[in-house]
A and B are shown apart, each in its own frame.
Chain A
Amino acid sequence: MFLIRCPWCGERDVSDFSYGGEAHIARPADSDAMSDSAWADYVFLRTNPKGVHAERWNHQAGCRRWFNMLRNTATDDILAVYKMGETPPQVSANLPATPSGEAAIGSGNDAAKVMTTEEGRGEGGGK
């Protein structure tokens, strides 16, 4: 439920784009010598963070070019869009106060919203 600013075409609806998964996972150079568990790590394991996530997108219904994006998966805030091959820029994000807490804005979960208090610690409180 968001708009994405394609670095070439500008802002379009998310339905224009296809998602390409976690970014910056380099294909191993020495694949012949790799163990099965190293392969499993490369092929299957993902960070899947609740917070800032570097991911690849393709503007499929537009220029059909790939780019990278930093998005806060706890709120769907888009924090940065940058080109393939570039290193992710430094960003600040509105993160949940506890690891699996909910942000005050941007979460559809009213059962477990954790509001940030002055100390920055989470305080449980359902509505």
Chain B
Amino acid sequence: MQRYGILSLIREGLRGHTGWEPAWRFPEPKPRYDAVIIGGGGHGLATAYYLAKEHGLTDIAVIEKGWIGGGNAGRNTTIIRSNYLYDESAAIYDHALQLWKTLGRELDFNIMMSHRGVLNLAHDEGELRQLKRRVEANRLNGVDAEWLEPEDVKAFCPPISISPTLRYPVLGATLQRSGGTNRHDAVVWGYARAADALGVDIIQQCEVTNILSEGGAVTGIETTKGTIATPKVASVTAGHTSVIAAMLGLKLPIESHPLQAMVSEPIKPVMPCVVMSSAVHVYVSQSDKGELVIGAGIDPHLSYTQRGSFDIVEHQMAAMVELLPFTSRLRFMRQWGGIVDVCPDASPVISKTRIKGFYVNGGWGTGGWKATPGSGHVFADLIANDEPNAIAAPFALERFVSGALVAEHGAAAVAH
């Protein structure tokens, strides 16, 4: 793999940028692989990278129906944090956060990781108590978290109004200083380049149309580029998990919903951190280009259209103007929708299935991006060893039978 750095930049600058190599290959699929990963997003490419790097499984392929990073990896608001209430969630999201910290260096790719801090605002007494409880729960799990009184919120993030006469006054906030944002494309490209260098075939513009099995075990896949034999198929298809599982007759506890986000025109730096508010339901950060990046809640109905409803946009805008009145005169550049697979307990599925050799990683709901490296890391472990490790185990499909749910939705009052 060609190293990126100041020296290579100077060298290429002096010779007219003629020496840059393609960051990854565009191979045709081979007739057989040791494992096939369906989905070339952040989670899928991370899975492939860790499979090759940590488990020596290099004869593998990532199959992507569009182009890598063109699905939810390219549609999220790139918020990174790990301040979840429950031990199981804290373990996996903090595992991811620790990997994020050194990922750019590890991949030799600038993922523009910015640990600028994430604020979760409390607007009423109930929320205040719940968020304070979450700070304590986070600390017990070794997750960095602190409680800010309104004056501290104002000092940390000046554009927020802490006037007590607001309709939704800011009574305080949790702060995770190690949280922040990064650049989604760079993460996808970094993983793709590193995985490709280890021998992983990344096959784009190739859709999986069927999964073949025999005697309850996976034997291969059919794609728009032919049939591929493989003993292991791993679905990492945010937004299509149920569709892929249905190819093997599996029904999952997942429903797919549109989730919308949007960006404003670029403005001077005004937002020093990520601000999230569950009560008015919006989350805002500012990209390095100056655009405000805004997300909110899902459309309530099930859909695969990657478009959302106008009334959701309206709610989102109302919430943002309530929280940050100066934004009322901003113009908006782009609005888009992605499809999020939501589990009833708002926690992901990282699991084996009753079909031997078929693994599912999905159902991340509205909060998958932050987990990308952790998700890929523990999923690679599951695929290689055919057993989940301690971090992945609580997210097995059996929890919907046993009742041991990781119910983050209701308990944490967390906007993702």
Whole-angstrom distance from the CB of A70 to the nearest CB of chain B?
13
In the complex, the chain B residue whose C-beta lies closest to that of A107 is B305
Q: Does A75 contact B (CB under 8 A)?
A: yes
Contact of A44 among B243, B253, B336 (CB under 8 A): B253
Contact of A98 among B224, B254, B304 (CB under 8 A): B224
Docked pose: A48 CA to B289 CA in angstroms: 38
Task: Tell me which residues across on chain A come within 8 A of B141, comparing CB atoms.
Answer: none
Whole-angstrom distance from the CB of A89 to the nearest CB of chain B?
20
A/B pair count, beta carbons within 8 Å: 132
Task: Tell me which residues across on chain A come within 8 A of B244, comparing CB atoms.
Answer: 99-100
User: Contacts A100-B65, A124-B224 known; A1 to B302 CB distance under 8 Å?
Assistant: no
Docked pose: A41 CA to B253 CA in angstroms: 8
Q: Does B255 contact A (CB under 8 A)?
A: yes
Whether B305 pairs with A100 at a CB distance below 8 angstroms is no
User: Contacts A41-B251, A45-B251, A124-B224 known; A100 to B300 CB distance under 8 Å?
Assistant: no
Contact of B242 among A18, A48, A124, A125 (CB under 8 A): A48
Contact of B305 among A37, A106, A112, A126 (CB under 8 A): A106
Task: Tell me which residues across on chain B come within 8 A of A13, comparing CB atoms.
Answer: 311
Whole-angstrom distance from the CB of B317 to the nearest CB of chain A?
14
User: Contacts A1-B309, A53-B302, A76-B303 known; A47 to B251 CB distance under 8 Å?
Assistant: yes
Q: Does A94 contact B (CB under 8 A)?
A: no
Whether A124 pairs with B65 at a CB distance below 8 angstroms is yes
Task: Identify the interface centre among A19, A76, A112: most chain B CB within 10 Å of its CB.
Answer: A112
- List the 9 closest pairs (A to B, CB-CB), nearest first: A111-B66, A111-B70, A112-B66, A108-B306, A15-B311, A48-B242, A44-B253, A108-B307, A19-B300
List 23 interface pairs A-B (beta carbons < 8 Å), by A numbering.
A2-B309, A14-B309, A18-B300, A22-B302, A45-B252, A45-B400, A46-B255, A48-B302, A49-B242, A50-B240, A53-B302, A73-B304, A98-B209, A98-B224, A99-B244, A108-B336, A108-B337, A112-B70, A112-B71, A123-B224, A124-B225, A125-B205, A126-B66
Show the binding face of A for B, using Cβ within 8 Å.
1-2, 13-15, 18-19, 21-22, 36-37, 39-41, 43-50, 53, 55, 71, 73-76, 98-101, 106-109, 111-112, 114, 122-126
